[in-house]
Amino acid sequence: MAAPAAGPVFWRRLLGLLPGRPGLAALLGRLSDRLGRSRERRRRRSPWLLLAPLLSPTVPQVTSPPCCLCPEGVHRFQWIRNLVPEFGVSSSHVRVLSSPAEFFELMKGQIKIAKRRVVMASLYLGTGPLEQELVDCLESSLEKSLQAKFPSDLKVSILLDFTRGSRGRKNSRTMLLPLLQRFPEHVRVSLFHTPNLRGLLRLLIPERFNETIGLQHIKVYLFDNNVILSGANLSDSYFTNRQDRYVFLQDCAEIADFFTELVDAVGDVSLQLQGDDTVEVVDGMVHPYKGDRAAYCRAANKRVMDVIHSARTRQQMLHAQTFHSDSLLSQEEAAAAGDRRPAPDTWIYPLIQMKPFEIQIDEIVTETLLTEAERGAKVFLTTGYFNLTQAYMDLVLGTRAEYQILLASPEVNGFFGAKGVAGAIPAAYVHIERQFYSEVCSLGQQDRVQLQEYWRRGWTFHAKGMALMKMTGMTGVRSFSFASAMTPVWVSQRAPVGTMELRVWVPQGRQNPLFGVLTVKKGGTVGREAWPPTSPLFSETGQ
């Protein structure tokens, strides 16, 4: 019982060491308040957890009855297409990447063969030699495009966060300035600035700490009609030893068009980097931190939602033509007519979360999926930073599905070993983890909700995702980030092919395997080898 009580005291002592650090102080203050209230909340709320599914948002109603012509297995998730566009693809066009090096090499290869467009959205671009290699690939492709006998008019659009991309003298902006200066008509660099960082607050909060106010967190990398959806940033550790998730969608024109339009929309409400390292607002757009905040947020909401609504309309028309036309063609007839694309068996729903603009689609869908996870379902959830919202925590503890949650061990947290107060952040996440598991045990749910820690020597862990599975097989695969501004959901009759390796630290003396491998094979079968133990894994020292 000493550990929970010590948490708030520990953080309040840290706060006392932070004169002139208002950004981090505010962040740690919120954490301290949350930890301090947790014991009282546990006393009050435990019986109410049984009502969590009833108090949570209901499943949005499907506006049309289930389609008997549509491929089997999608009906349960059709309600999502009331919120966002629905894209049907073949699972043969979906590939799961397994390593940072594979992610980096694929991006370079895709840049080199791109003819029409390269769209990259990330939190930031690093400043090391690997990042420079990526910029050099862009420069080479743009140069070849202009010098070709039949120019392809390649366009490059890059969206980053303003505060993170402007940190330090050498930063994302300085890395990209040569491209802007040499190819001003072919390169666009947009820097999103949160509308919440303005006025006196913007003047007082120093670099790094201003990033706690709000960030642009979309991670999508697009080359012609090929798309990589990931949680990885454009930085050397994400190319070498920082494990993340990466899904490669090949030859998916409609999806590539949607993400191009979405990044363009967010770019339009962002600041535009100029060749002299200044920034400008798009003509007619409200300034994100100098203009009226409400007017800016309304304009940004309309710009983004217009993209979603127009894509929904297009996909609904395509769906009707594909499955409801009076002259439906067989796959053989379609191939004879020149359409060689395989029939869709996977449906992708790109979710959006931009709370300052009152866009909370990801939140709605996530809470609904967790609410509807019935007995017999199993939820695999992984996150690099264990800090569930209260709503998600109540749903995990109040529903009947089994949960297996994979967390970063302290050593593979990106803040492990950092100087100053930042070095204590891994301990804070361990404290939150312990509090959550104490609540699991107090409710007698340790057989249903299990926690494990990822560990791999010399690596860090950043993967965020959720897989919803049935005991009879995989019915839906979903990949998302709690902190993301964009989340893909896919429902598949056949799971994407790939391998996910989970190295899990086991306390000394436990007679258990040290690692586990979950392999999704062709046809959607799931194989397990040396799967980690079901008991929770905790460590005082992290050794």
Catalytic residues: 217, 219, 224
Q: How far apart are CA 531 and CA 178, in angstroms?
A: 49
Non-local CB neighbours of 298 within 8 Å, separated by 6+ positions: none
- DSSP run (H or E) holding 100: helix 100-113
Task: Report the sign of the C-alpha dihedral through residues 429, 431, 435, 437, in that order.
Answer: positive
Q: Is 41 helix (H, G, I), strand (E, B) or coil?
A: helix
Q: Is 387 helix (H, G, I), strand (E, B) or coil?
A: coil
Q: Are 176 and 269 within 8 A, CB to CB?
A: no
Strand partners, 518: 500, 528
- DSSP run (H or E) holding 474: strand 473-478
Strand partners, 470: 377, 473
Q: How far apart are CA 386 and CA 31, in angstroms?
A: 12
The whole-angstrom distance between residue 59's C-alpha and the CA centroid of its chain comes to: 22
Joined together, the tokens standing for residue 100 give: 């940072």
Q: What are phi and psi of 316, to 5 degrees?
A: -65, -40
Question: How far from each other are the two terminal CA atoms of the chain, in whole angstroms?
Answer: 23
Strand partners, 382: 406, 465
The CA distances from residue 90 to 80, 249, 469, in Å, are 19, 10, 20
Burial letters 98-120, b for 16+ CB under 10 A, else e: ebbeebbebbeebbeebeebbbb
Q: Which of 478, 276, 266 is nearest to 367 (CA)?
A: 478
Query: Using CA atoms in the order 282, 286, 288, 293, what is the torsion angle rounded to 10 degrees?
Result: -170
Q: What are phi and psi of 123, to 5 degrees?
A: -65, -45
Q: How many CB atoms lie within 10 A of CB 151?
A: 11
Non-local CB neighbours of 414 within 8 Å, separated by 6+ positions: 237, 242, 384, 460, 462
Q: How far apart are CA 322 and CA 317, in angstroms?
A: 9
Query: Using CA atoms in the order 262, 243, 401, 511, what is the torsion angle rounded to 10 degrees?
Result: 180
Counting every residue written for the chain, the total comes to 543
Q: How many CB atoms lie within 10 A of CB 503?
A: 19
Q: How far apart are CA 481 and CA 487, in angstroms?
A: 7
Q: Are 442 and 399 within 8 A, CB to CB?
A: no
